[in-house]
A and B are shown apart, each in its own frame.
Chain A
Amino acid sequence: MTLDINTIVEILSGFCLLIGSFLCISGGVGILRFPDFYTRMHAVGVTDTLAAGMILVGLMLQNPDALVVIKLLMILVMTLFINPTASHALAKAAFHNGLMPVLDDTEILNSKERNKTTDNDLEPK
Protein backbone atom coordinates (compact mmCIF):
# COMPACT_ATOMS: atom_id res chain seq x y z
CA MET A 1 0.00 0.00 0.00
CA THR A 2 1.36 3.37 -0.97
CA LEU A 3 0.59 6.66 0.68
CA ASP A 4 -0.04 9.38 -1.84
CA ILE A 5 1.03 12.94 -1.20
CA ASN A 6 -2.44 14.25 -0.39
CA THR A 7 -2.90 11.84 2.48
CA ILE A 8 0.48 12.78 3.94
CA VAL A 9 -0.34 16.49 3.77
CA GLU A 10 -3.73 15.83 5.35
CA ILE A 11 -2.16 13.91 8.22
CA LEU A 12 0.49 16.61 8.75
CA SER A 13 -2.19 19.28 8.81
CA GLY A 14 -4.26 17.36 11.34
CA PHE A 15 -1.18 16.86 13.50
CA CYS A 16 -0.37 20.59 13.44
CA LEU A 17 -3.96 21.49 14.32
CA LEU A 18 -3.95 18.96 17.16
CA ILE A 19 -0.74 20.35 18.67
CA GLY A 20 -2.08 23.89 18.27
CA SER A 21 -5.33 23.01 20.02
CA PHE A 22 -3.47 21.39 22.89
CA LEU A 23 -1.24 24.45 23.29
CA CYS A 24 -4.27 26.77 23.18
CA ILE A 25 -5.97 24.90 26.01
CA SER A 26 -2.67 24.77 27.91
CA GLY A 27 -2.37 28.54 27.70
CA GLY A 28 -5.96 28.92 28.89
CA VAL A 29 -5.31 26.65 31.85
CA GLY A 30 -2.07 28.47 32.56
CA ILE A 31 -3.72 31.87 32.72
CA LEU A 32 -6.03 30.48 35.40
CA ARG A 33 -3.47 28.46 37.34
CA PHE A 34 -0.43 30.69 37.63
CA PRO A 35 -0.12 32.70 40.83
CA ASP A 36 0.46 36.30 39.73
CA PHE A 37 0.23 38.68 36.80
CA TYR A 38 3.78 38.33 35.49
CA THR A 39 3.70 34.54 35.42
CA ARG A 40 0.31 34.58 33.71
CA MET A 41 1.90 36.67 31.02
CA HIS A 42 4.23 33.76 30.16
CA ALA A 43 1.22 31.46 29.77
CA VAL A 44 -0.31 33.90 27.32
CA GLY A 45 3.03 33.94 25.50
CA VAL A 46 2.60 30.24 24.72
CA THR A 47 -0.76 30.75 23.05
CA ASP A 48 0.48 33.78 21.17
CA THR A 49 3.56 32.20 19.61
CA LEU A 50 3.56 28.46 19.06
CA ALA A 51 -0.18 27.75 19.35
CA ALA A 52 -1.10 30.40 16.80
CA GLY A 53 1.79 29.32 14.59
CA MET A 54 0.80 25.65 14.68
CA ILE A 55 -2.88 26.31 13.92
CA LEU A 56 -2.04 28.66 11.06
CA VAL A 57 0.50 26.22 9.58
CA GLY A 58 -2.13 23.50 9.82
CA LEU A 59 -4.57 25.69 7.93
CA MET A 60 -1.91 26.50 5.31
CA LEU A 61 -1.50 22.79 4.61
CA GLN A 62 -5.27 22.42 4.14
CA ASN A 63 -5.51 24.82 1.21
CA PRO A 64 -3.36 24.82 -1.92
CA ASP A 65 -4.52 28.28 -3.05
CA ALA A 66 -1.48 30.59 -3.07
CA LEU A 67 -3.35 33.76 -2.12
CA VAL A 68 -4.92 32.10 0.93
CA VAL A 69 -1.54 30.74 2.05
CA ILE A 70 0.01 34.19 1.75
CA LYS A 71 -2.81 35.74 3.77
CA LEU A 72 -2.37 33.14 6.50
CA LEU A 73 1.37 33.84 6.46
CA MET A 74 0.59 37.54 6.83
CA ILE A 75 -1.60 36.86 9.86
CA LEU A 76 1.17 34.73 11.38
CA VAL A 77 3.86 37.36 10.83
CA MET A 78 1.58 40.09 12.21
CA THR A 79 0.81 38.02 15.31
CA LEU A 80 4.50 37.37 15.89
CA PHE A 81 5.43 41.03 15.50
CA ILE A 82 2.53 42.58 17.39
CA ASN A 83 2.25 40.36 20.44
CA PRO A 84 5.69 40.95 21.97
CA THR A 85 5.10 44.69 21.66
CA ALA A 86 1.71 44.48 23.34
CA SER A 87 2.94 42.28 26.17
CA HIS A 88 5.99 44.47 26.72
CA ALA A 89 3.75 47.56 26.92
CA LEU A 90 1.49 45.75 29.39
CA ALA A 91 4.39 44.57 31.58
CA LYS A 92 5.95 48.02 31.55
CA ALA A 93 2.68 49.67 32.52
CA ALA A 94 2.13 47.20 35.35
CA PHE A 95 5.70 47.58 36.62
CA HIS A 96 5.66 51.37 36.55
CA ASN A 97 2.41 51.45 38.45
CA GLY A 98 4.01 49.46 41.23
CA LEU A 99 2.70 45.95 40.69
CA MET A 100 5.43 43.78 42.19
CA PRO A 101 6.00 40.20 41.05
CA VAL A 102 5.71 37.32 43.49
CA LEU A 103 9.17 35.78 43.65
CA ASP A 104 10.66 32.62 45.04
CA ASP A 105 13.40 34.27 47.03
CA THR A 106 12.65 37.64 48.56
CA GLU A 107 15.62 39.61 47.21
CA ILE A 108 13.60 42.05 45.18
CA LEU A 109 15.09 45.14 43.64
CA ASN A 110 15.15 48.21 45.83
CA SER A 111 11.93 49.84 44.68
CA LYS A 112 9.92 50.01 47.86
CA GLU A 113 9.71 53.80 47.56
CA ARG A 114 8.14 53.64 44.15
CA ASN A 115 5.71 51.09 45.49
CA LYS A 116 4.59 53.47 48.18
CA THR A 117 3.89 56.40 45.92
CA THR A 118 1.80 54.59 43.35
CA ASP A 119 0.09 51.97 45.43
CA ASN A 120 -3.37 53.41 44.93
CA ASP A 121 -3.09 53.09 41.16
CA LEU A 122 -3.31 49.34 41.47
CA GLU A 123 -7.02 49.15 42.03
CA PRO A 124 -9.22 49.67 38.99
CA LYS A 125 -11.20 52.85 39.36
Chain B
Amino acid sequence: MRHTLTLFLTLAAFWMLNSGHTSVLMLSLGTISVVFVLYIAHRIDVVDHESQPIHLSYKLPGYFLWLLKELLLANIAVVKSIWLGKNFISPAFTTIKATQKTDIGKVIYANSITITPGTVTVDLVGDRLTVHALFQENLDILKAGEMDRRVSRLEN
Protein backbone atom coordinates (compact mmCIF):
# COMPACT_ATOMS: atom_id res chain seq x y z
CA MET B 1 0.00 0.00 0.00
CA ARG B 2 2.87 2.32 0.86
CA HIS B 3 4.44 1.63 -2.50
CA THR B 4 1.19 2.27 -4.36
CA LEU B 5 0.90 5.64 -2.63
CA THR B 6 4.46 6.70 -3.47
CA LEU B 7 4.02 5.53 -7.06
CA PHE B 8 0.83 7.57 -7.30
CA LEU B 9 2.58 10.66 -5.95
CA THR B 10 5.55 10.20 -8.29
CA LEU B 11 3.35 9.78 -11.35
CA ALA B 12 1.14 12.72 -10.39
CA ALA B 13 4.18 14.96 -9.89
CA PHE B 14 5.61 13.82 -13.22
CA TRP B 15 2.34 14.59 -14.99
CA MET B 16 2.00 18.00 -13.34
CA LEU B 17 5.55 19.07 -14.11
CA ASN B 18 5.36 17.94 -17.71
CA SER B 19 2.02 19.50 -18.53
CA GLY B 20 1.86 22.64 -16.40
CA HIS B 21 -1.94 22.86 -16.91
CA THR B 22 -4.21 23.59 -13.97
CA SER B 23 -7.73 23.63 -15.45
CA VAL B 24 -10.23 21.19 -13.94
CA LEU B 25 -10.69 19.21 -17.15
CA MET B 26 -6.97 18.67 -17.63
CA LEU B 27 -6.45 17.76 -13.98
CA SER B 28 -9.20 15.14 -14.07
CA LEU B 29 -7.83 13.67 -17.31
CA GLY B 30 -4.41 13.51 -15.65
CA THR B 31 -5.84 11.75 -12.61
CA ILE B 32 -7.55 9.21 -14.85
CA SER B 33 -4.33 8.47 -16.70
CA VAL B 34 -2.36 8.12 -13.45
CA VAL B 35 -4.94 5.70 -12.04
CA PHE B 36 -4.89 3.74 -15.28
CA VAL B 37 -1.10 3.40 -15.11
CA LEU B 38 -1.38 2.29 -11.47
CA TYR B 39 -3.91 -0.38 -12.51
CA ILE B 40 -1.59 -1.67 -15.24
CA ALA B 41 1.37 -1.67 -12.83
CA HIS B 42 -0.65 -3.77 -10.38
CA ARG B 43 -1.68 -6.18 -13.10
CA ILE B 44 1.91 -6.83 -14.19
CA ASP B 45 2.94 -6.95 -10.52
CA VAL B 46 5.80 -4.46 -10.44
CA VAL B 47 4.72 -2.32 -7.48
CA ASP B 48 7.10 -3.45 -4.75
CA HIS B 49 10.23 -2.39 -2.91
CA GLU B 50 12.34 -2.80 -6.05
CA SER B 51 10.47 -0.38 -8.26
CA GLN B 52 9.89 2.04 -5.37
CA PRO B 53 12.95 1.83 -3.11
CA ILE B 54 11.65 4.24 -0.52
CA HIS B 55 13.56 2.54 2.29
CA LEU B 56 16.77 3.86 0.69
CA SER B 57 15.61 7.35 -0.07
CA TYR B 58 17.00 9.17 2.97
CA LYS B 59 20.48 7.74 2.47
CA LEU B 60 20.71 8.24 -1.29
CA PRO B 61 21.52 12.00 -1.48
CA GLY B 62 24.79 11.59 0.43
CA TYR B 63 25.81 8.70 -1.80
CA PHE B 64 24.96 10.69 -4.93
CA LEU B 65 27.17 13.56 -3.79
CA TRP B 66 30.07 11.18 -3.26
CA LEU B 67 29.40 9.57 -6.66
CA LEU B 68 29.41 13.02 -8.29
CA LYS B 69 32.88 13.68 -6.91
CA GLU B 70 34.13 10.33 -8.23
CA LEU B 71 32.49 11.11 -11.59
CA LEU B 72 34.39 14.38 -11.87
CA LEU B 73 37.76 12.79 -11.11
CA ALA B 74 37.16 9.88 -13.50
CA ASN B 75 36.07 12.24 -16.29
CA ILE B 76 39.24 14.30 -15.96
CA ALA B 77 41.40 11.16 -16.19
CA VAL B 78 39.58 9.81 -19.25
CA VAL B 79 39.60 13.14 -21.11
CA LYS B 80 43.31 13.47 -20.42
CA SER B 81 43.95 10.04 -21.91
CA ILE B 82 41.79 10.84 -24.96
CA TRP B 83 43.96 13.80 -25.90
CA LEU B 84 47.28 12.19 -24.94
CA GLY B 85 46.77 9.13 -27.11
CA LYS B 86 46.99 5.37 -27.12
CA ASN B 87 50.17 5.04 -25.07
CA PHE B 88 48.55 6.45 -21.98
CA ILE B 89 45.83 3.84 -21.57
CA SER B 90 46.20 0.39 -20.06
CA PRO B 91 42.98 -1.56 -20.66
CA ALA B 92 42.35 -4.24 -18.07
CA PHE B 93 39.72 -6.84 -17.48
CA THR B 94 38.96 -8.69 -14.28
CA THR B 95 36.37 -10.12 -11.93
CA ILE B 96 35.60 -8.51 -8.58
CA LYS B 97 33.36 -9.55 -5.73
CA ALA B 98 30.30 -7.64 -4.56
CA THR B 99 29.46 -7.91 -0.87
CA GLN B 100 25.90 -6.60 -1.05
CA LYS B 101 23.18 -8.93 0.18
CA THR B 102 20.18 -7.76 -1.79
CA ASP B 103 19.69 -7.64 -5.56
CA ILE B 104 19.00 -3.94 -5.52
CA GLY B 105 22.29 -3.28 -3.73
CA LYS B 106 24.20 -5.25 -6.36
CA VAL B 107 22.45 -3.39 -9.16
CA ILE B 108 23.26 -0.03 -7.57
CA TYR B 109 26.89 -1.09 -7.25
CA ALA B 110 27.10 -2.34 -10.86
CA ASN B 111 25.43 0.78 -12.22
CA SER B 112 27.70 3.03 -10.15
CA ILE B 113 30.70 1.27 -11.69
CA THR B 114 29.25 1.66 -15.18
CA ILE B 115 28.34 5.32 -14.84
CA THR B 116 31.90 6.22 -13.82
CA PRO B 117 33.81 6.78 -17.07
CA GLY B 118 36.75 4.44 -17.25
CA THR B 119 35.02 1.39 -15.82
CA VAL B 120 32.18 -0.66 -17.30
CA THR B 121 30.44 -3.64 -15.73
CA VAL B 122 30.34 -6.26 -18.45
CA ASP B 123 28.60 -9.06 -16.57
CA LEU B 124 26.91 -9.70 -13.22
CA VAL B 125 26.50 -13.31 -12.12
CA GLY B 126 25.72 -14.15 -8.51
CA ASP B 127 27.99 -11.87 -6.49
CA ARG B 128 30.71 -11.61 -9.14
CA LEU B 129 31.08 -8.57 -11.37
CA THR B 130 33.16 -8.69 -14.54
CA VAL B 131 34.63 -5.24 -15.05
CA HIS B 132 36.49 -3.70 -17.96
CA ALA B 133 38.61 -0.68 -17.11
CA LEU B 134 40.49 1.87 -19.16
CA PHE B 135 43.34 2.10 -16.66
CA GLN B 136 44.87 -0.55 -14.45
CA GLU B 137 44.68 1.88 -11.51
CA ASN B 138 40.90 2.04 -11.78
CA LEU B 139 40.68 -1.67 -11.04
CA ASP B 140 43.04 -1.33 -8.08
CA ILE B 141 40.83 1.41 -6.67
CA LEU B 142 37.73 -0.74 -7.16
CA LYS B 143 39.40 -3.72 -5.51
CA ALA B 144 40.27 -1.57 -2.51
CA GLY B 145 36.50 -1.43 -2.18
CA GLU B 146 35.45 2.01 -1.02
CA MET B 147 32.49 2.13 -3.39
CA ASP B 148 31.54 -1.40 -2.36
CA ARG B 149 31.52 -0.41 1.32
CA ARG B 150 29.45 2.70 0.66
CA VAL B 151 26.80 0.78 -1.30
CA SER B 152 26.71 -1.89 1.42
CA ARG B 153 26.16 0.78 4.03
CA LEU B 154 23.36 2.15 1.87
CA GLU B 155 21.26 -1.00 1.96
CA ASN B 156 21.24 -1.58 5.70
Contact = CB atoms under 8 A, between A and B. Distances in A.
Query: Do most interface residues of chain A lie in helix, strand or loop, or is the interface mixed?
Result: helix
B91 interface: yes
A14 interface: no
B122 A95 contact: yes
B25 interface: no
A92 B122 contact: yes
A71 B82 CA distance: 32
Contacts of B120: 38, 41-42, 45, 87-88, 91
Contacts of A109: 93, 95
B113 to A, nearest CB: 9
A55 interface: no
Given A71-B18, A95-B123, A103-B93, A49 B114 contact: no
A22 to B, nearest CB: 8
A60 B85 CA distance: 34
B117 interface: yes
Interface stretch (B26-34, B37-45, B72-80, B144-152): B72-80
Interface size class, chain B: 20 to 34
B95 A102 contact: no
B134 A39 contact: yes
Interface size class, chain A: 35 or more
Contacts of A84: 111, 114-115
A45 B132 contact: no
Given A45-B118, A67-B20, A104 B82 contact: no
Contacts of A26: 79, 82-83
B95 A103 contact: no
Interface in A86-125: 87-88, 91-92, 95-96, 101-104, 108-109
Given A49-B71, A92-B122, A39 B91 contact: yes
A49 B79 CA distance: 12
A109 to B, nearest CB: 7
Given A23-B75, A33-B86, A91-B122, A103 B115 contact: no
A36 to B, nearest CB: 8
6 contacts: A27-B82, A29-B82, A88-B114, A91-B121, A92-B122, A108-B93
Interface of B: 17-18, 20, 71-72, 75, 78-79, 82-83, 85-86, 89-93, 95, 110-111, 114-123, 130, 132, 134, 136
Interface of A: 23, 26-27, 29-30, 33-36, 38-39, 41-43, 45-46, 49-50, 67, 70-71, 74, 80, 83-85, 87-88, 91-92, 95-96, 101-104, 108-109
